[in-house]
Amino acid sequence: MSLLEWMPRWCLSAKPEAHPPGPPARDPAPDPPAPLKPSEWAARRCNFLPDPQQAAILDCADPRVILLTARQVGKSTIAALRALYIAVHQPKSLIFMVAPIHTQAGEILQKLKEFAAELDFPLRGDGNNPRSLQLPNGSRIVARSAVARSVRGFSKASLIIIDEAAFVHGAAYRALSPILAVSQGHLWVLSTPYGRNNLFAEIWHDHQADWTRFAIRATDCPRLTPDFLASELRLHGELSYAQEYDCRFISHGLQLLTREQVAAALIDHAPVPVLGLWEKTERYYGLDLGKRQDHTALVVLELTWQYGVKDPATQRTPMHPTLTVRYAPRLALDTELVSIPGFVRAATQRFDGEFGRPKVPQTLLVDATGNGHAVIELLRRERHGLRLLPVCISSGRTAKHLKDSYLSIPRSDLLTRLKLLFERGQLKLERCAPGLEILERELLHFETAGHQSEHDDLVMALGLAAWQATTDHPSLLGLPESAGPLPQSRLI
């Protein structure tokens, strides 16, 4: 039997393949699972189940986050979890934690270490910073006090957490921000409120800034019982409770003005008097001379009058005065004294050139305390047509005239009159006035004792102008107008 006869028919009928068959086709590789959100990761890996508000904060990926909370609602725990999440998922990252003192920053780090132990990470430092933790992937978490000189030298941070931020000085903020410049890292600022005169309060209230805001009050936290909160209210009183548990910014009595008073004074345009009251318009200039670390500042107040509602009994129409800040420039530091007269002259010419507005009486008050006598002599040589009043600010109780047409004004009286004008709504701030943004910031930070971190040059210049305006027109303070003689003055 031949070989062809022996082979099965199906073999004979099969055609040979052009190419040998390749390996069997495989299914496409599945996509890697999406990383867990921080709140899910905290629940599955760290055995921490966040409540809805905590979960929303944990999952927020915005670059700037400010967290306003009551006491004991878990803000440090949330910050520790967020820091650990970034450290685990971003190898060789730097997490920076700061607080007013070392031990407060160490508390967040301690919470983070407890969660790291849940992940079986070895708890070892980075070998350079005493309060630190280094993960096996090279990420470092460093805790430091919020002292500007102690945080310099670090760079490329992925996350900076500022705890108890209301107690942190503005210089620490300025030292920390550049650490995020190259890495485009995140900044978390969290605190219970502490008054109104700090950068934390300014950030929270500045809704034009690019910050994502979260607020957790005590009543929002399921772990704080109503009985405990009622006990705290009875023990510490309403003001303390409002700040510590209700997230309200309570003034400590250090500031001259509240944020609400300054906001209420802002107007879009200065009031324009009717034609019959043009001649009663006046302008008051306050000039605060700069020292080595202060600016020379000038504020121009415009006094205008408006008709009120006619009294049906007497048929008289009352007139109401209003002061408006129209101009608030200041000179650069270390500006030569000889340029100050030209600085004042430019301000007067700015308003003399307003079309359709008649020339009005103008008064210039200059703070001549200290070495201001030389500037006074320079101003007296100028031909501005201003009523010049050199002023020495004193710690006395009453204003009095001194030699050579100088006037002594108590500092307390100067500030009290300014405060009364804001309280009565008689002083307005024109939003478009040059320099108003700096003046507004100074007003928000100004403390009666003068311990604020901001300059106070424009505030003192405003106080000088307002003092003379209220002296000439007591009705601004609710007192009857007097037709007494003007203070001693000299035209310049």
- 115 and 210 share one domain: yes
Per-residue pLDDT at 485: 43
Residue 22 lies in a domain: no
Residues 225 and 297 in one domain: no
Structure tokens at 313: 């009994």
For residue 18, is it within any domain?
A: no
Mean pLDDT of 448-466: 84
Residues with Cβ within 8 Å of residue 152, at least 6 apart in sequence? 175
Q: In terms of domains, do 278 and 196 share one?
A: no
Spatial separation of the C-alpha atoms in residues 356 and 349, rounded to whole Å: 14
313 shares a domain with 197:
no
The answer to whether the beta carbons of residues 464 and 457 sit under 8 Å apart is: no
Predicted confidence at residue 453, as pLDDT, reads: 64
Number of domains into which the chain is organized: 2
C-alpha dihedral over 391, 396, 399, 401, to 10 degrees?
-60
229 and 283 together in one domain: no
Buried b (16+ CB within 10 A) or exposed e, 200-235: bbbbbeeeeeebeebebebeebeebeeeebeebeee
Q: Are residues 292 and 196 in the same domain?
A: no
pTM of the entire predicted model = 0.64
Least confident of 200-204, 291-295, 400-404: 291-295
CB 151, CB 97: distance < 8 Å: no
Determine contact, residues 62/189, Cβ cutoff 8 Å.
no
Whether the CB-CB separation of 466 and 459 falls below 8 Å is answered with: no
Q: Percent of the chain having pLDDT more than 70?
A: 87
> What is the reported pLDDT for 455?
82
- pLDDT over 90 at 460, yes or no: yes
Which pLDDT band holds residue 41 (cuts at 50, 70, 90)? very high
Residue 403 lies in a domain: yes
Greater confidence (10 vs 352) lies with 352
Specify the pLDDT at position 267: 94
Structural domain harbouring 171: 38-244
CB–CB of 95/162 below 8 Å?
no
Of 22, 70, 443, 451, whose CA–CA distance to 244 is shortest?
70
Mean pLDDT score of the chain: 84
pLDDT at 187: 92
Segment 50-81, tens digit of pLDDT: 888 889 999 998 989 999 999 888 888 999 99
* Dihedral sign (CA 265, 267, 270, 273): negative
Residue 15 has pLDDT above 80, yes or no: no
Q: Which of 244, 275, 308 is the last residue of a domain?
A: 244
Among 102-116, 231-245, 352-366, the minimum mean pLDDT is found in 352-366
Q: CA dist 192 to 76, 195, 204, 217, 260, Å? A: 11, 10, 12, 10, 20
Q: pLDDT tier at 7 (50, 70, 90 boundaries)?
A: very low
| 102 shares its domain with 127 | yes
Q: What are the b/e assignments for 25-39, b being 16+ CB within 10 Å?
A: eeeeeeeeeeeeebb
Task: Tell me the mean pLDDT in the region 259-286.
Answer: 88
pLDDT given for residue 249 in this prediction: 84
Name the packing angle between helices 411-424 and 457-472 (round to 10°): 80
Give a yes or no: residue 31 inside a domain: no
**Whether residue 489 has pLDDT greater than 50:** no
In-domain check, residue 273: yes
β-bridge pairing 387-394 and 490-491 = antiparallel
Domain co-membership, 297 together with 430: yes
Name which of 42-56, 94-108, 239-253 the model is least confident about. Answer: 239-253
Separation of CA 322 from chain center: 29
The pLDDT tens digits for 321-351 are: 999 999 999 998 888 888 898 899 889 888 8
CA distance 407 to 365: 9
- Cα 126 from Cα 140, distance rounded (Å): 7
| Pair type for strands 186-191 and 64-69 | parallel
| CATH classification at residue 288 | 3.30.420.280
Lowest-pLDDT range of 122-126, 191-195, 367-371, 440-444: 367-371
Which amino acid, 377?
A: E
Is the confidence at residue 487, as pLDDT, over 60? no
Q: Looking at the structure, do residues 231 and 151 belong to the same domain, yes or no?
A: yes
Please give the pLDDT value at position 482. Answer: 64
Residue 64 shares a structural domain with residue 92: yes
CATH code for the domain of 80: 3.40.50.300
Q: Give the chain's end-to-end CA distance (angstroms, integer).
A: 140
- Flag whether 290 is in a domain: yes
Q: What is the average pLDDT across 462-466?
A: 95
Q: Which residue type does 7 have?
A: M
What is the Cα gyration radius of the chain? 34
| 463 within domain boundaries | yes
Let me know if residue 6 belongs to a domain. no
Same domain for 428 and 349: yes
Question: Are residue 474 and residue 368 in the same domain, yes or no?
Answer: yes
pLDDT value at 4 more than 90: no
Among residues 378, 364, 357, 373, the alpha carbon closest in space to that of 467 is found at 364
Q: Which 3-state string (H, E, C) describes the chain?
A: CCHHHHCCHHHHHCCCCCCCCCCCCCCCCCCCCCCCCHHHHHHHHCCCCCCHHHHHHHCCCCCEEEEEECCCCCHHHHHHHHHHHHHHHCCCCEEEEEECCHHHHHHHHHHHHHHHHHCCCCCCCCCCCCCEEECCCCCEEEEEECCHHHHCCCCCCCEEEEECHHHCCHHHHHHHHHHHCCCCCEEEEEECCCCCCCHHHHHHHCCCCCCEEEEECHHHCCCCCHHHHHHHHHHHCHHHHHHHCCCCCCCCCCECCCHHHHHHHEECCCCCCCHHHHHHCEEEEEEECCCCCCCCEEEEEEEEEEECCCCCCCCCCCEEEEEEEEECCECCCCCCHHHHHHHHHHHHHHHHCCCCCCCCCEEEEEECCCCCHHHHHHHHCCCCCCEEEEEEEECCCCCEECHHHCEEEEHHHHHHHHHHHHHHCCEEEECCCCCHHHHHHHHHHCECCCCCCCCCHHHHHHHHHHHHHHHHCHHHHCCCCCCCCCCCCEEC
